[in-house]
Amino acid sequence: MTRVIREIREVREYVEMLKRNRFSLGFVPTMGALHDGHCSLMRQSFRENDRTAVSIYVNPLQFLPGEDFEKYPRQFECDLARCEEEKVDIVFAPTVAAMQPLGRSTVVKVEGVSHEYEGRVRPGHFDGVATVVSSLFNVVQPTRAYFGQKDYQQTVVLRRMVRDLHVPVDLVICPIVRDPDGLAMSSRNVYLSADDRAEALRLARAIVAGERAVQSGETSGDRLRAILRDAMSSPRADVTIDYADVVHPDTLVPIQSIESRAVLIAVLRVGRVRLLDNAIVAAPGAPSGGA
Ligand code: PAF
């Protein structure tokens, strides 16, 4: 049975017990609104660790003014049922007051890789993510932590934070989980109407078109960017491309010509909803590999 913990003190007692028994702990940080993508992270943690903890915390620090913090889907009972199905040991669901009892003076800022793409469209977003994830790591002290590749830039930012701060945790990046129509799963997909969803599929198709072009030998960054943009373009005025790029997997610097591995990253705005997708690609003959 999954135990729900709301207090940091209680998590610490649990972690002490695990340490005494030399049990490993897998950790899946989430903001709730759990879907099959989150469940795939829980399953991987379950396979690789003695115990699994999931946090459910809608982190105010990573929302910009005017974004959907208040409206972000909150469905705790339903999320808890999914965690129980996945045999999660602990759900840590703190209040904002528990996480930030004194407000927040300390910010974890990961320079460089936070600046472009999501960082440019949502300034300060990654400071909020890095700050809360480092707080959660300090509380939960996991052996391994699981993140989805869908938020590719987030994985790069967090990897860099863990390396720079010598955080004793292994980050495990898990593949994107897609609906049968190809759309990458996201808690915000619930905002899409049926018509919006049809538009949103342009993004998944663009990523597939880019992957196929690389498999067929295309290595030019500019030609790949054009392929992504063509496939994402819509006659609908409220469907717009935030970015479509080909970047280095670790630095996120745009690539002129793919020599080994690269990442296709793209964001399509459909009405009020921003949809993210990406794929790691390898030039023919270069070693492939996940995130
Ligand atoms: O990816 C998310 O859901 C959030 O950014 C995270 C990592 C749980 C931090 O709030």
Q: What is the pLDDT along the chain (291 residues), one digit of tens a residue?
A: 999 999 999 999 999 999 999 999 999 999 999 999 999 999 999 999 999 999 999 999 999 999 999 999 999 999 999 999 999 999 999 999 999 999 989 999 999 999 999 999 999 999 999 999 999 999 999 999 999 999 999 999 999 999 999 999 999 999 999 999 999 999 999 999 999 999 999 999 999 999 999 999 999 999 999 999 999 999 999 999 999 999 999 999 999 999 999 999 999 999 999 999 999 999 988 876 666
Task: Please state, in angstroms and as integers, the Cα–Cα distance from residue 37 to each residue in 41, 51, 169, following that order.
Answer: 7, 19, 21
Q: From the alpha carbon of 57, which atom of ligand 1 is closest?
A: 10
Distance from residue 129's CA to the centre of ligand 1 (Å): 6
Task: Please state, in angstroms and as integers, the Cα–Cα distance from residue 54 to each residue in 87, 152, 237, 240, 273, following that order.
Answer: 11, 20, 39, 34, 26
Which residues sit opposite 66 in a β-bridge? none
| 3-174: CATH class | alpha beta
Domain coordinates in residue numbering, the chain: 3-174, 187-282
> Is 248 assigned a catalytic role?
no
Number of C-beta neighbours around residue 93 at 10 A? 17
Catalytic residue among 38, 115, 166, 248: 38
Tokens of 135: 């707080």
Contact 31 CB / ligand 1 (< 6 Å) = yes
Cα 108 to Cα 99: distance, rounded to the nearest angstrom: 15
Contact 114 CB / ligand 1 (< 6 Å) = no
What was the pLDDT predicted at 289? Answer: 62
Cα 162 to Cα 108: distance, rounded to the nearest angstrom: 11
* The 3-5 sheet, strands edge to edge: 3-5, 90-92, 51-56, 25-30, 144-148, 170-174
Give the architecture (CATH level 2) of 187-282.
Answer: 2-Layer Sandwich (3.30)
Contact (CB, 8 A) for 163 and 138:
no
Cα 57 to Cα 61: distance, rounded to the nearest angstrom: 11
Q: What is the value of pTM for the model shown?
A: 0.97
Q: Which helix (H) or strand (E) holds 207?
A: helix 194-215
Cα 226 to Cα 244: distance, rounded to the nearest angstrom: 9
**Nearest of 283, 251, 278 to residue 149 by alpha carbon:** 278
Which residue minimizes the CA distance to atom 2 of ligand 1?
A: 30
Radius of gyration of the chain from its Cα atoms, rounded to whole angstroms: 19
